[in-house]
Amino acid sequence: MESILDLNKEQLITYLQSIRQPAYRWKQIWHGLYVEMYDSWLQFTNLPLELRGYLQEHFTISNLSLADHIHSSDGSTEKVLFSLPDGNPIETVLMEYEERISICVSSQSGCSIGCKFCATGKLGLLHNISCGEMLAQVLHFARASNQEKHPITNIVIMGMGEPLLNYAEVKKAIEILNDHDGLNIGSRHITLSTIGIPEQILQFAYDFPQLNLAVSLHAANDQQRDKLIPINKKYNIAMLLEAVKQYIALTNRRVTFEYVLIADQNDAVSDALQLGSILHGLLCHVNLIPLNPTAHFNGNPPPLERIEKFQQVLNDHHIPATIRFSKGTQIQAGCGQLAGKSH
């Protein structure tokens, strides 16, 4: 059955017109879904009983089934495994920081990109997630957070999948997340993370000039990046950086580059020097992420002093760089660890 969350505002209005409902009806439903965050048609007591029954026969609210969930021992991270209607898995992670609460949303079940260090990539692409399935991930956590009076502040589209390869649905979901009559998550609080699909980066710039863009670079030259990220053979670093330059010119927004540091593979001072050189002059920030271990990749994070040296070289090149230890690595919820499995 179709999820009501798959309808954007215009589609909902059109649908309600088609079943001869008054013009104000969409507002009641929209408010119930995204402000009250009802998860059952029975809660829509503001609707006539007959309409409630009709909607219940034609739409579910969420199409996701909760399959498993796990908390980190410090309670700051929760990972949820959902099952899609076709049985494929997706994972969503809630991360609590002192000043914000972020949800890391999946945009695909599995992923076709196949980055060597990533557990999701090992699955291949299983399913493109619909707009409603992305919103259902957010609402699952937002309901609990609102009850505890700690509303969700940030969304990062950084979970399973490559969002720019499912862009139409991702775009629709972002528009609903951002909607002032609903969840009202501010543009500056939404980040899309991509491995780098040049033409889609430009489309994203046109569609969402106020959102944050993170680009997973992970290497400073094509020889290394080809080995880690197979799609680099199609879209090499020069093509990617050209798209990023155009993105910055269009939006005047700072881009974040993600760089997973892998001992003896991309963590040498010479790599940092090369990275400093290719990023020179770009309005950017680099997040240095020590590799999170996964079962299928033979690699280790570098020792801390080597990571700090790498950071120092970038800073010497006037490239701001931050060392980021992923939250939730202990529960396999860190970057590259989402494998769609129960615990």
In the bound state with ligand SF4, the residue whose beta carbon lies nearer, of 114 and 293, is 114
User: Is 162 flagged in the annotation as binding?
Assistant: yes
Q: Are 141 and 127 in contact (CB under 8 A)?
A: no
The residue sitting closest to ligand SF4, measured at its beta carbon, is: 121
- Given the complex with ligand SF4, which of 195 and 215 has the nearer CB atom? 195
Establish whether 236 is an annotated binding residue. Answer: no
| Identity of the residue, 118 or 136, whose beta carbon is nearer to ligand SF4 in the bound complex | 118
Shortest gap between Cβ of 203 and ligand SF4 (angstroms)? 18
Would you please indicate which residues are annotated as catalytic (active-site) residues? 91, 335
Task: Name 270's Cβ contacts closer than 8 Å, sequence gap at least 6.
Answer: none
CA 142 to chain centre: 16
The minimum distance between CB 193 and ligand SF4, in angstroms, equals 8
Residue 95, beta-bridge partner list:
77, 102
Q: Which is nearer to ligand SF4, 94 or 338 (CB)?
A: 338
**111 assigned ligand-binding residue:** yes
Q: How far apart are CA 67 and CA 69, in angstroms?
A: 7
Least distance in Å: CB of 186 to ligand SF4? 25
Q: Which of 183, 157, 182, 67 is nearest to 103 (CA)?
A: 157
Q: Is 193 annotated as a binding residue?
A: yes
Distances (CA, A) of 142 to 151, 219, 271, 283: 7, 36, 41, 33
CA distances for 336 relative to 63, 104, 119, 240, 311, angstroms? 25, 12, 6, 21, 21
Least gap, CB of 26 to ligand SF4 (angstroms): 35
Q: Are strands 101-105 and 154-157 parallel, antiparallel or unpaired?
A: parallel
Could you tell me which of 115, 112, 121, 207 has the C-alpha nearest to residue 166? 112
Residues that bind ligand SF4 (CB under 6 A): 111, 113-115, 118, 120-121, 160-162, 195, 336
115 annotated to bind ligand: yes
From the CB of 114, what's the least distance to ligand SF4, in Å? Answer: 6
**Gap between the Cα atoms of 296 and 162, Å rounded:** 20
328 assigned to a ligand binding site: no
Nearer to ligand SF4, 37 or 255 (CB): 255
Distance CA 260, CA 224 (A): 12
Q: Check if the beta carbon of residue 243 is closer than 8 Å to that of residue 196.
A: yes
Q: Which residues are annotated as a binding site for S-adenosyl-L-methionine?
A: 161-162, 193, 216-218, 292
List binding-site positions for [4Fe-4S] cluster. 111, 115, 118
Output the known binding site: 111, 115, 118, 161-162, 193, 216-218, 292
